C-alpha cells in the first residue's frame, strides 16, 4: 500500500471539514431548539435528525381528519392502571372535584375545573389514535385546544415546553410550543359524542394527534410551562425515555 501525500492532505482536509460541518450543524440545531431533550444518547443523532426535519417540514401542518363514517366502531381501550382511592372519590363526585392546575411560566397560575374548561371555546376533531405497537383506531375527540388554556393563563414568551402530568404523577410528558399551540392539540373531555370514558382517559386527556398515542396522556391533572426540561425527572423530557422510548413521537 502506498498513500500519496496529496491523498493524505485531501483526506485530512475533508475529515476536518466534515468535523467542522457537524459541529456547526449541531450548534445551529441547538440554537434553533431542534435538538430533542433525549438527543444526547447513542440514538441522539437519529432522534435529532427526525425531530429537526419534522420541525422544519411540519410545524403548522394538520393531522389527517376523517369523515364521521370512518369512526371506529371498536375503539381499542389500552390497558390502564387500577384506579386509586383518590380517583374513585373523584369518580363518585362525577368528577366535579377534578382540577387541572396550570402553573410555571405563566402570568396567572390557575386551577381549572372541568366546567371551567367547558366554558372555553370547544373544538372537535375526528383523528386517528396510533399506537407504537402498530394498531390504530379513529374516534371523535371533543374539548378545548390547549392553546386556549395557555392564552387564558398568559403563558410567558420564553416558554419552550409544556410539561403535563397524569393524576398519578409518575406518568408525565412534555411537548414543544409548536405542538402545544397547534390547533389540533386538544384537552379532550368528550369522545364520540359522549363524555370521555374512564378507560379512554376520562375525565380529561390531552390529545396530540400528530404524535404516537403514548404522548396523549390520560387523566390529566397538572400542566407546567417551562423554558427547560433539565429539572424534570431525569431531564429527558418525559417519563418515556426513562423506559427507553423516544421523547418525540411524531416519528
Partner 1 sequence: MATTSPAPVAVTRRHTVLVRVTHWLTVISFFALLITGAEIVVSHPRFYWGETGNSGTTPLFKIPIPASRDTVPTGYNYVLPDQNGWSRYLHFEAAWVLVLTGLVYVAAGLITAHFRKNLLPTPAARSLRAIREVFAKYLRRAPPGEAESHSYNVVQRIAYLSVIFVLFPFVIWTGLALSPSFDSAMPATVNLLGGRQSARTLHFFVSGLLVIFLVAHVTMISLAGFWSRTRAMITGRVKLPSEHRDSRGELRRE
The binding site for partner 1 (CB under 8 A) comprises: 1-2, 4, 41-43, 45-47, 49-50, 54, 57-58, 61-64, 66, 70, 72, 74-76, 78-79, 128, 130-138, 209-212, 243-246, 250-251
CB of 233 to partner 1, least distance (A): 16
CB of 4 to partner 1, least distance (A): 8
* Beta strands, E only, 46-122: 99-104, 110-113
- The whole-angstrom separation of Cα 216 and Cα 210 is 10
Q: Which is nearer to partner 1, 112 or 247 (CB)?
A: 247
DSSP string computed for 155-212: B-TT--EEEEEESSTT-EEEEEHHHHT-TT-EEEEEETTEEPPGGGTTT-EEE-TTS-
CB of 166 to partner 1, least distance (A): 19
CB of 246 to partner 1, least distance (A): 6
Q: What ranges in 63-172 are assigned the alpha helix state H?
A: 85-92, 114-119, 146-153
Query: Which whole-number Å values give the CA distances from 118 to 6, 107, 113, in the listed order?
Result: 72, 21, 9
Q: Which is nearer to partner 1, 128 or 195 (CB)?
A: 128
Across-strand partners of 163? 174, 224
CB of 42 to partner 1, least distance (A): 8
Q: Which is nearer to partner 1, 4 or 231 (CB)?
A: 4
Q: For 6-33, give the secondary structure using H, E and C.
A: HHHHHHHHHHHHHHHHHHHHHHHHHHCC
Q: Which is nearer to partner 1, 18 or 45 (CB)?
A: 45
Q: Which is nearer to partner 1, 63 or 153 (CB)?
A: 63
What does the DSSP 8-state code read for residue 250? -
- The whole-angstrom separation of Cα 174 and Cα 211 is 12
Q: Which is nearer to partner 1, 159 or 184 (CB)?
A: 184
CB of 36 to partner 1, least distance (A): 11
Amino acid at each position: 500500500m502506498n498513500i500519496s501525500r496529496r491523498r493524505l492532505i485531501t483526506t485530512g482536509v475533508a475529515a476536518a471539514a466534515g468535523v467542522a460541518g457537524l459541529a456547526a450543524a449541531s450548534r445551529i440545531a441547538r440554537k434553533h431548539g431542534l435538538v430533542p431533550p433525549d438527543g444526547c444518547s447513542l440514538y441522539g443523532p437519529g432522534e435529532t435528525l427526525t425531530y429537526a426535519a419534522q420541525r422544519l417540514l411540519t410545524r403548522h401542518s394538520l393531522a389527517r381528519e376523517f369523515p364521521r363514517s370512518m369512526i371506529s366502531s371498536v375503539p381499542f381501550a389500552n390497558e390502564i392502571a387500577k384506579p386509586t382511592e383518590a380517583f374513585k372519590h373523584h369518580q363518585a363526585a362525577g368528577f366535579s372535584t377534578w382540577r387541572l392546575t396550570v402553573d410555571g411560566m405563566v402570568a396567572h397560575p390557575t386551577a381549572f375545573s372541568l366546567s371551567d374548561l367547558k366554558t372555553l371555546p370547544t373544538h372537535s376533531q375526528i383523528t386517528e389514535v396510533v399506537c407504537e405497537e402498530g394498531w390504530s383506531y379513529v374516534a371523535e375527540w371533543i374539548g378545548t385546544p390547549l392553546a386556549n388554556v395557555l392564552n387564558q393563563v398568559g403563558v410567558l414568551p420564553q416558554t419552550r415546553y409544556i410539561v403535563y402530568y397524569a393524576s398519578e404523577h409518575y406518568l408525565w410528558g412534555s411537548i414543544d410550543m409548536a405542538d402545544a399551540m397547534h390547533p389540533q392539540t386538544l384537552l379532550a373531555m368528550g369522545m364520540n359524542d359522549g363524555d370521555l370514558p374512564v378507560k379512554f382517559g376520562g375525565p380529561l386527556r390531552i390529545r396530540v394527534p400528530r404524535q404516537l398515542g403514548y404522548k396523549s396522556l390520560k387523566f390529566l391533572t397538572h400542566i407546567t410551562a417551562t423554558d427547560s426540561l433539565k429539572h424534570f425527572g431525569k431531564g429527558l423530557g418525559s417519563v418515556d425515555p426513562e423506559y427507553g422510548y423516544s421523547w418525540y413521537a411524531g416519528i
